[in-house]
Amino acid sequence: MATSRSDALVLFGVTGDLAHKMIFPALYAMAKRGVLKVPVVGVAFPKWTLAHLRKYVTDSVKRSGGIDNQRAFHHLLSLLSYVGGDYNEPATFTAIKTALGRARRPAHYLAIPPSLFGTVIKGLGAADLADHARVIVEKPFGRDLASARELNRIAHAVFPEDSIFRIDHFLGKEAIMNILYFRFANSFLEPVWNRNNMASVQITLAEDFGVENRGAFYETAGCLRDVIQNHLFQVVALLAMEPPAYRGYGAVHSEKAKVFQAMRPLKPENVVRGQYTGYRKEPGVAKNSDVETFCALRLFIDSWRWEGVPWYLRSGKCLAETATEVLVELKPPPQRLFADSATETGLGNYLRFRLSPSSAVALAARVKRAGKEFVGEQRELYLAEEQPGEEAPYERLLADAMAGDGALFTREDAVEAAWAVVDPVLNSHNRTRPYRRGSWGPHEADALIAADGCWHNPKAGTAPGGN
């Protein structure tokens, strides 16, 4: 069991896209805050020199926002070293041990293709690089239930569970953390947060761009695996979980796992898969590809609190906006006293969590207009907004993992329970439906939700949109 702060960071995949876009800027931010004080050993296949790596890091930091603290930046560069080699070769791990020097509690970050996770973990074990160490594993953790179980088996043969950090950068976002705080710090929510008062829950993660240069990766994943099974399921768990018995992250993990275990396994009729026009022409994509770039599903949680409440999740690329939003709609009052109490769109009172690009929590309620007539309109009350100076997700998660704080990471039982929900439809599903770039996905997604209303499309502004 690793209980002390990591005394080195070994970054596998240091020459990759993830490192360039996310990890190096996070390390620079940590250096500016004075919390990065350990060696950073970069590992990858190319035979780079240290000078080449430093140039790559410099380019990354400049592109992500620029170098505004020369002292911190040069401190980051001074911590770097590089090991080039094949992950299948024992000599590579011997070289890593040499580069670590006196460090005895490294954190090994696997920013590499999922197919290599097992290879590297076994290599760490064989080279005695796992004792008192931690391993940080990027998503996706497996590609189905069987592979997730196998990867857990391999990881547990080398590391104890509390030294395995399954990273999902979504959990490091301030807006996601605020869902947990907002739910359990406010007493007015609990009386209505159940099947008796909730009509439905919608979660949308939309992107207005395509797969860009990740076509080959997307062919191995698809939207259901890449976004919904991990990112959106984590949001569902925070919204649906029971109050933890205490504030410790172990209690939170246990309650989240119970939500996944209570989810009804999906059937093909619960899922709509779409593919934007032109996807098959993207580099690395098969000409007859049936991989989904859009996915919508109807989900039920068979628990005392949520029995019968439909949860609608959707995500896609090349949609009309880039935004992530949760909309929890309440049931209408039992008696309709006022003729206009039902809005034109049919949307009743709701609670809205805006997760990106801006952050907000809003409550919608009807208020009377001035005059003798009992006529009103629905308005939003803002309860929270984005705060300046918040940590970026990778900065927060890297620091937490190196400190041994597992609060924002995913536990083994939760990973496997989430895969069990989607496993029945990973291979048994309807074909993808085409949809136009800039739209909100295929029309079949509208039919999926029709029994409970319609999708409420996030807008660039603050209020939820209609169709």
Given the residues 231, 253, 429, 456, the one annotated as active site: 231
**Residue 58 is which amino acid?**
T
Any idea how long the chain is?
467
User: What is the β-pairing status of strands 198-206 and 323-330?
Assistant: antiparallel
Write the Ramachandran bin of 377: left for phi over 0, alpha for psi from -120 to 50, otherwise beta: beta
CA dist., res. 98 & res. 105, Å (int): 14
The answer to whether 424 touches 203, Cβ cutoff 8 Å, is no
- C-alpha distance across the termini of the chain, in Å: 52
CA dist., res. 447 & res. 445, Å (int): 5
231 is catalytic: yes
CA dist., res. 91 & res. 214, Å (int): 31
Active site residues: 231
